[in-house]
Chain A
Amino acid sequence: MSNVWGLYNYWIVIFLMMTGFYIVIARGNLIQRVIGLNIFQISVFLLYITMGKVHDATAPIVLDNTVTFSNPLPSVLILTAIVVGVATTALALALIVRIHEAYGSIEEEEILVGDHDQ
C-alpha cells in the first residue's frame, strides 16, 4: 500500500498528464486545446519538482544545523521550462486571435468547413 500512497505525487502527475493529453486530442475548440496543452506541460513540471524533493529534508538554504536538504536543480530547470511554456501559450493565443480574425471562428470543424468552401 505504501507504494500506492507513498507515490501519490506521481499519481497526480499521471492523472494530469493524461487529462491534458486527452483534452488536446479530443477537443475541437482551439482555446480548450491550448488549456489541455498547458495542463499537460504542468504535469511535467510537477514531475520534475517531485523528483527533487528529499523526504524529511528542508529547503535548500545553507543553515548551520541542517543536514539534508532537497535538490534545488529540478526546480531551477522548471523555472526555465515554465518560461518556455508561457512563450508557447502566448504564441498559441496570438495565433488563435489571428485565426479568429480570418475565419470568424475558433472551432476546428467550422474552420475546416470554411476552407473547404473556398
Chain B
Amino acid sequence: MTQNSLPVLQIAIPLIAAPLCVVIRDRKIVLACTIAVCWATFAMSVALLHRVLSQGVVTYELGGWPAPWGIEYRVDALNAFVMVFVAAIGALVITYAPSSLEREIARSRHYLFYVMYLLCLTGLLGICITGDLFNLFVFLEISSLSSYALISLGQSRRALMAAFQYLVMGTIGATFILIGIGLLYQMTGSLNMQDVAGRLDPQRGTRTVLVAFAFMSVGISLKMALFPLHAWLPNAYTYAPSVVTAFIAATATKVSVYILLRMVFSVFQPTFAFDSLPLDTGLMILALTGIFAASAAAVFQTNIKRMLAFSSVAQIGYMVLGISIASEAGLTAGIVHMFNHAFIKGGMFMAMGCLALRLGAVELSDLRGAARRMPWTMFAWSLGGLGLIGVPVTAGFVSKWLLLTAAFEAGKLPVAAMLLVSSLFAVVYVWRVVEVAYFQEPLQDQKDVQEAPLSMLIPTYVVIGLTLLFGVWSSLSTGLARQAALALLGAAS
C-alpha cells in the first residue's frame, strides 16, 4: 500500500505540512517539522529511485482515474534521479539554515520562511514527477511564487526589486509555457505527456505545433536562465537570503533544464525538435555564447555572491551544451552536470552563507585574509571552486570530461576547444577570491571574527564532500545519468 503510494506521498507530505506550519507558528516546532519533512521526502525519493531501477517505470493515477483522463504521476530513471538530488539539497540546506536565518531574517517571520521553503520544494518535486502538462504548469507556479517570496525576504531593500523583476520575467516565462500547453491541447485533445507524444507527428508538425514549440522553448529558456534570458538571475541570487540562494541556485534552474529535456525528448521528440527544426544548433550557439559571456562577466564582479550567480548562468550553458549534442554521451554529460553542479554550487553558496554570517557582507574587499579567521569555511569554498574549474578528483572534472568526450564523439572539435578555453575563465574568477582570502592581510576591524558554527559547517562539508565523492566514485552518478539518458532516448525511438 505505502509502496504504491510513494509517488503521491512525496508531493502530498510537504504540501500538507506547509499550511500546518502556518497554523502552528511556533518557530521551534515548525523548524523541527520542516526538517523532518525534508528528510522524509529525501528518503522517499531514494526509495522511489531504487524501485524505478529494479522494476522500471513507476506510475500512479491520482484519484484512481486512468491515465489519459486523470492526472498521472510517472517516474522513470530521469525524474527519479533529478528528484533525489533536489530532495537531498532540500534536506541538507534546511539542516544548515537555522543559524543563518537567525541573523538574516527577523524571528517573527521564520515560520513563514519555512512554509515558503516547503512549498518551493513541493513545486520543484511536483514538476519532476508529473506526467500531465497542465499539472506541470501548476507546480511550476507553486515553486516560482514561493521562490519570489523567499527572495524578497533578503535583508537589503534591493531584494524587493530583485524579487519583483524575477516575478515579472518568471510570469512571462510561465505564461509562454501555458500558451504552448494550450496550443498542444488544441492539436491533440490531450494533456497527458505520453498521450500527446503519441498523437504528434514525430517528423513535422502543423503550424500550431510549431508555434506551441516556439512558445515553450522560449518560456523554458527564461525559467532556466539560458543566456540571453538570464537577466533576472544575478540580482535574485545576490540579494536573496544566503539559505535561499543556496537552495534555489542548486535546484530551481536544474528542474527547468529537466522540463526542457522532458519536452524535447518525451513530448515533441528529437526528430522534430533537432532534425526538422534547428533547436540543437540554436541551443548550442546560445550555450557557448552564454558560457563565455557569463564567465567573462563573473570575472569582473566585486560581490562574490553575484560572481557565483554569473557563474551559474555559465554552468547552465554547459548543461544545455550537453543536451544540444543530443547523443547518448551528450545527454549523459548534460544530466550528470545537473547533478554535479547542484552540489558544487549548493556547497559554495552554503560557504558564502557562513561568510555572510560572520563578516556581514560578501564584497571581495571584505574577504581580505578571511582564510585566517575562517579557515574551514574558506577551505570548503575553495574545494567547491576547484569543482567549478573542473580539476581532477572533483565532480566538475567528471562532467567536463564527459562533455569533452561527447563533443569529440560528435566530431565537434571547435566546441571541445571552446570548452577547454572556457574553464580558464573559472580559474580566473575562483583565483581572485582565493588570492584575496589567503594571501592578503586581514582587516583590522575583523579581529574577533570567528569560524562559522558547526551546525552550518557540517552540512556545508557534507555537500562539498559529496562533490569529491562523486568526483572519485563517478560510476554511480554517471551510471544513473546514463540510465536516464537511455530512458529519454528510448522514449524517443
Q: Which residues of A contact B (CB under 8 A)?
A: 21, 24, 30, 33, 37, 40-41, 44, 47-48, 51, 74, 77, 80-81, 84, 87-88, 91-92, 95-96, 98-99, 102-103, 111, 115
Contacts and interface: CB of A to CB of B under 8 A. Distances in A.
Contacts of A77: 134
Closest 6 CB pairs of A and B: A102-B157, A84-B141, A51-B186, A99-B160, A95-B164, A48-B182
Contacts of B161: 99, 111, 115
Contact of A74 (B152, B164, B179, B182): B182
Interface in B139-192: 141, 145, 148-149, 152, 157-158, 160-161, 163-164, 167-168, 171-172, 175, 178-179, 182, 185-186
Contacts of B158: 115
Contacts of A84: 137-138, 141, 145
B134 A87 contact: no
A77 B179 CA distance: 12
Contacts of A111: 161
5 contacts: A40-B172, A41-B175, A48-B182, A51-B185, A95-B167
Interface residues of B, number: 24
Contact of B148 (A24, A91, A96, A98): A91
A91 B182 contact: no
B171 A95 contact: no
Nearest to A100: B160
Contacts of B167: 88, 91-92, 95
B182 A47 contact: yes
Contact of A95 (B163, B172, B186): B163
B148 A40 contact: no
A87 B140 CA distance: 13
Contacts of B164: 30, 92, 95-96, 99
A91 B149 contact: yes
Given A24-B168, A88-B167, 7 more contacts: A21-B172, A24-B172, A41-B175, A81-B178, A92-B168, A95-B152, A95-B167
Nearest to A51: B186
Nearest to B148: A91
Contacts of B138: 80, 84
Nearest to B215: A44
A44 B168 contact: no
A41 B171 contact: yes
Contacts of A102: 157, 160
Q: Which of B134, B141, B145, B182 has the most CB of A within 10 A?
A: B182
Contacts of B186: 51
B396 to A, nearest CB: 34
A21 B176 CA distance: 11
Contacts of A51: 182, 185-186
Contact of B172 (A30, A37, A48): A37
B185 A74 contact: yes
Contacts of A47: 179, 182
A99 B168 CA distance: 15
Nearest to B142: A84
A33 B161 CA distance: 13
